[in-house]
Every structure is written in structure tokens, then in C-alpha cells.
Amino acid sequence: MNREVFAAVADALERGEPAALVTIVSTTGSTPQRIGAKMLVFADGRIVGTIGGGCYENDAFGKAREAIRTRKPQLVHYELDDDFAQETGLICGGQMDVYIEPIEPSPELYIVGAGHVGFHLGRLAHEVGFRVHVVDDREKFANAERFPAAVEIVVEDIPSWIARANLPLHAYAVIVTRGHTNDLEALRALATRELRYLGLIGSRAKVARIYEALTDDRMPADALARVHAPIGLDIGAVTPQEIAVSILAELIAVKHGKEHPTSLRWTPPQLARGSQK
């Protein structure tokens, strides 16, 4: 049975589909399954494998779906007593601990803009496990010589490509193009997407101008509120190399659930006004 689960885990990682692995890690007394029994749970409710059935499996199923959403593992203790017997007919009398672990594919990082910051970010991000995709409309900058480790290099009009691209839900997108207009159009195309992370480079003044333009075009305020802008952790970065480090630090923080509170991000004017009511 576990062979089937392991195959399903491999397939999920290959497809880029998040899931949660449920494993019995300890038992005492009589239990329906032994230590090591596994069940893989997907966000849409599909299950591969079993940890023994009954309402405790159903409870673990619910916690596994929650783990997929929160990306946080947990250890759950079950007493297989009469309360379980009433629902399942399984009078085992034992105890067991179940470890619920969210599994995710390697994070996909889309670097929109292959200039100096994008170049250094691509190199650093690859070293820490991101699968790097590079998008730019200039072959001089977006090429295999500059980004030898990239899994994809796109040389095309940026907004047109984004409009057709199917970015996965676990994707990270960083907008670091060469100018205000390109950043604006890239953010316009990405802001309403469901992504793990979306960041925009620039000063607060530049971000404010871009937000104002998108707000005038009726971009939803909640979409803009999700954007990390200005991008990166505030470490006083100045050079392209330092800025790339600050961006990567923020990506890693988001990956591990340690991102800064939203109060430290730029707040769209209409949201700021609403908070004062």
C-alpha cells in the first residue's frame, strides 16, 4: 500500500500539486494499522492509501487538508476508545500518534525582467532550490548564457506572455523590469492571479504612482493589498546584488511562513482611507 502512496507523492511533485502525507508514527495497544502506514490527501479531497479507516482517519483527513492550506505540519494523538467505537464499530482500545506533513513541489520563481537585479536574483534563487523562469522582451538579457540554470527563458512581450501563461498557485512572481511602464503592465497582468507571492520593485513613490494608475483602471483593492511592494526585506540594500539578496530573503520568509505582517507593505490609498473610518 505504501508503494502506491509513494508513487502518488512522486506524481504530485512532478505535477506541481500540493498534498499532505499522513503517517502513523507511534502506537500503543491494539490499533487498526501499524507504525508507518500512510495516507496521501489532496486539496480536492482525493485520498491514496489508508491509516485504518474510521472517524479518526476522517479527522486526520480534515487536518491534512488544513495542513495543505496553512503549509504547517502537526502531530496528532488519537485515543481509540469507545467514542470512536460508537461511530465506527472499531473497539481497539489503543493509542496512536499521526504525523501530518504538507508536501510541496520545488517553488517556481518567475523573474519578470532580466536586467541586473533579475540576473543576480536568478543565480541566488537557483542555489536555494527555486526553479527559475525568466521573462523579458530582450534576448540580449534573457538568454541561456546569463541564466544557465533557468528551467525556462521567455523572450516575448511581457504582458502578452503573462496573459497566456498558466502560472501555478504555488508560484512566486517578481516584477523587476527596466522601467515604470513595463512594471505597470506586468503588475496589471499579474495582480489578480492567485499566487504564493507577487512582488514589485521600486521606491514607495513609484509604487504609489503605479497603484494609482491601476486603481483608476478599477483594479480591486484587495488584489493590490496582496502585492509585496516595495519588494524585499528592508536591509538597506543599494546595489543590484544587495537588492537581489533582500528579495530572496523575503521569498524564503514567505516559503517558510515567516513573512512580514501586511501592515509593513504598501497600503493602497482606498484601503488606507477605509481603515480610518
Which of 103, 128, 151 finishes a domain? 103
**Same structural domain, 40 and 165:** no
Would you state the pLDDT for residue 28? 87
219 CB-near residues (< 8 Å, 6+ apart): 188, 191, 192
The range of the structural domain enclosing residue 51 comes to: 2-103
Would you state the pLDDT for residue 93? 62
**Same structural domain, 81 and 152:** no
Would you state the pLDDT for residue 267? 55
Cα gap 163→160, rounded to integer Å = 5
**Average pLDDT over the chain, rounded to whole?**
87
**Same structural domain, 198 and 262:** yes
Burial class (CB in 10 A: 0-12, 13-18, 19+), 151: middle
**Same structural domain, 34 and 84:** yes
- For 226, phi and psi rounded to 5 degrees? -80, -15
Q: Residues 61-118: pLDDT tens digits?
A: 999 999 998 888 999 999 876 555 455 444 556 788 999 999 988 899 999 999 999 9
Would you state the pLDDT for residue 31? 80
Which one is predicted more confidently, 61 or 269? Answer: 61
Confidence class for position 277, pLDDT limits 50, 70, 90: very low
**Same structural domain, 97 and 119:** no
140 pLDDT exceeds 60? yes
Would you state the pLDDT for residue 276? 36
Would you state the pLDDT for residue 259? 66
Give the CATH number for residue 215. Answer: 3.40.50.720
Cα gap 187→26, rounded to integer Å = 49
Would you state the pLDDT for residue 82? 52
**Same structural domain, 126 and 252:** yes
**Same structural domain, 177 and 93:** no
**Same structural domain, 72 and 153:** no
Instruction: Provide the pairing of β-strand 152-155 with 131-136.
Output: parallel
Q: Measuring CA to CA, how many Å separate 81 from each of 30, 86, 92, 97?
A: 10, 9, 7, 14
**Same structural domain, 204 and 114:** yes
**Same structural domain, 13 and 147:** no
Span 166-172, average pLDDT: 89
Which of 55, 72, 103 finishes a domain? 103
Number of domains in the chain: 2
Span 148-152, average pLDDT: 96
Q: Please identify which residue in the block is written with the cell numbers 497603484.
A: 211
Would you state the pLDDT for residue 247? 97
Cα gap 110→187, rounded to integer Å = 13
Which of 103, 126, 146 finishes a domain? 103
Would you state the pLDDT for residue 14? 82
Confidence class for position 168, pLDDT limits 50, 70, 90: confident
**Same structural domain, 132 and 268:** yes
Alpha helices in the chain (DSSP H): 2-15, 54-70, 82-88, 116-127, 158-164, 180-190, 204-216, 221-225, 240-255, 269-275
Would you state the pLDDT for residue 40? 96
Q: Residues 42-66: pLDDT tens digits?
A: 989 999 999 987 778 999 999 999 9
61 CB-near residues (< 8 Å, 6+ apart): 22, 39, 41, 47
Would you state the pLDDT for residue 275? 37
Would you state the pLDDT for residue 260? 56
**Same structural domain, 226 and 113:** yes
